[in-house]
Structure 1
Amino acid sequence: MPVRVRTAHQHTAMFVVDADAAQRMIDYSGMRVCRFGRGGRRALVVLMLMRYLDTDLGEYYEYGTNVMVNPPGSQATGVRALQSAGAFVHHLPVDQPFTLEAGRTIWGYPKVMADFTVRGADNGAEVRGADNGAEVRDGRRFGFDVSIDGQRVVSMEFAPGLPIPDRFAGRPQVHSTYSYLDGVARETEGQMVLSGVRYRPGGVSLRLGEHPYAAELAALGLPRRALVSSSAANVDMTFADAKIVGA
């Protein structure tokens, strides 16, 4: 420890959802969603695809459903509270057994095996022609499907975002993620540096499948327009050891 990621590509989409629905989805964990908006009725959910290329855990794809939550013991609300919020990892399918075992054992992440179909360039690079069968209309296009046991969970298609200079987006960031597995809540601190970042209001098409994970996302009111989508051509990060927390 710490575990190092030297090269990875990232695509994320942030959605504003009903806070009560988000809380019901993660009630099992004891964590509390970070509420904002009038009457604390809104919460943030982030759907993410990572392609890990050069890491201590090997090369793999990973999809995550993350709910922004308060640190244990905090009852903070409002937009400012999001500054100290962490990401509770509710879904985390992966496509390689070693990272599945490491993620569950070291950090208590709810990793399960899945199949990934990826279309287009996943590193923000320009796509020329049709890459992996993707239909390219605007020069850049990226999409993926995640399936578990033959049932589709989610499909997402990303439009290109506007580039953000690294001097703004490339500052080191420290974030906490939270997990709950086998009756134990954990907090893991990670540091990351992003490069080749692009942002776009909306910018993503979301379709849900027939897997039970998809039904949970539908209960949040998804699919709907994303607040913002983003990509990073590279993510350099480290993961510390997990700490057991009392939620």
Structure 2
Amino acid sequence: MTQHTIAGTVLTMPVRVRRAHQHTAMFVVDAAAAQRMIDYSGLRVCRFGRGNRRALAVLMLMRYEDTDLGQYYEYGTNIMVNPPGTSPSQATGLRALQSAGAFVHHLPVDQSFTLEAGRTIWGYPKVMADFTIRHGRQFGFDVSIDGRHAVSMDFAPGIPVPSAFGSRPQVHSTYSHLDGVTRETEGQMVLSGVRYRPGGVSLRLGEHPYAAELSSLGLPKRALVSSSAANVDMTFADAKIVGA
């Protein structure tokens, strides 16, 4: 059991999230463009589709309510990648997606404690941002960084799925790259109150450089699927340094 001291607070691993809300949208994007965007990480995007020319980008907003890191909003741009060491025969196709992990390319947050913890413990590329949240028949949000609009999303209500869909613990890996080091973090999550919808999200890009990167993937476009979870219970283990 390891511990980290962040801003005078001792965190004992794994870090626990007891309550959080989640909205995600999955987009099919050009694999070559996605690879160019994350080449700095040394990781390889998980390719599928005709000619293995497609990849998956997942854009998401988290509202962390009860966690070891406090309460905060977090936006993420994630690209699905092959685990390091994946053989060429296992690196492509729909089956490869089942073992793919999420490389975290953007991760703005609105609180300084989680920013320091995320960068120090896991090497996540957290930066400070401002969030505007819209509630009502549709859920929506805007993210601005240094006073410049980066991204906005509005979600249509999804269709409830059986509770068994998310009630079983799911083990997943996320990857990060900061200060020249690539890391893998293993996590476990249990979802409840899950809703899905084909498409179902409106994406708007601003003038911040993050928006230009998303545009290079061919966004905005229709989402493959959008989803939400009324609660996410999860843990984050210590990060491990990995090779490409």
State the TM bucket, normalised to the shorter chain: over 0.9
Please state how far the C-alpha of 1:46 moved relative to its aligned partner.
Answer: 0.1
Aligned position for 1:39: 51
> Which residue identity lines up with residue 17 of structure 1 in the other structure?
V
Where in structure 2 are the equivalents of 1:150-229 lying within 5 Å? 150-229=147-226
Please state how far the C-alpha of 1:80 moved relative to its aligned partner.
Answer: 0.5
Aligned position for 1:71: 83
Decide which structure has greater strand share: 2
TM-score, L = length of structure 2:
0.93
Residue 125 of structure 2, aligned match among 95, 104, 110 = 110
SS in 1 for 2:238: coil
Please state how far the C-alpha of 1:165 moved relative to its aligned partner.
Answer: 1.4
Residue 17 of structure 1, aligned match among 13, 29, 33 = 29
SS in 1 for 2:98: helix
Runs of 4+ residues deviating >4 angstroms? none
> Which residue identity lines up with residue 60 of structure 1 in the other structure?
Y
Please state how far the C-alpha of 1:169 moved relative to its aligned partner.
Answer: 2.4
Aligned position for 1:246: 243
CA distance in 1 between counterparts of 2:225 and 2:53 reads 19
CA distance in 2 between counterparts of 1:212 and 1:223 reads 15
Q: How many corresponding residue pairs?
A: 229
Please state how far the C-alpha of 1:47 moved relative to its aligned partner.
Answer: 0.1
Please state how far the C-alpha of 1:40 moved relative to its aligned partner.
Answer: 0.7
Please state how far the C-alpha of 1:89 moved relative to its aligned partner.
Answer: 0.1
Please state how far the C-alpha of 1:170 moved relative to its aligned partner.
Answer: 1.8
CA distance in 1 between counterparts of 2:42 and 2:51 reads 21
Aligned position for 2:98: 83
CA offset digits 1:4-60 (Å, max 9, x no partner): 000000000000000000000000010000000011100000000000000000000
Where in structure 2 are the equivalents of 1:92-103 lying within 5 Å? 92-103=107-118
Aligned position for 2:38: 26
CA distance in 1 between counterparts of 2:61 and 2:43 reads 23
> Which residue identity lines up with residue 235 of structure 1 in the other structure?
V
CA distance in 2 between counterparts of 1:238 and 1:152 reads 31
- Which runs of no fewer than 5 residues in structure 1 stay unpaired? 121-126, 128-139
- What's the % identity of the aligned pairs? 86
CA offset digits 1:63-120 (Å, max 9, x no partner): 0000000001213100000000000000000000000000000000000000000000
Considering only aligned residues, what root-mean-square deviation do their CA atoms show, in Å?
Answer: 0.6
Please state how far the C-alpha of 1:141 moved relative to its aligned partner.
Answer: 1.1
CA distance in 1 between counterparts of 2:149 and 2:160 reads 31
CA distance in 2 between counterparts of 1:168 and 1:222 reads 29
CA distance in 2 between counterparts of 1:68 and 1:36 reads 11
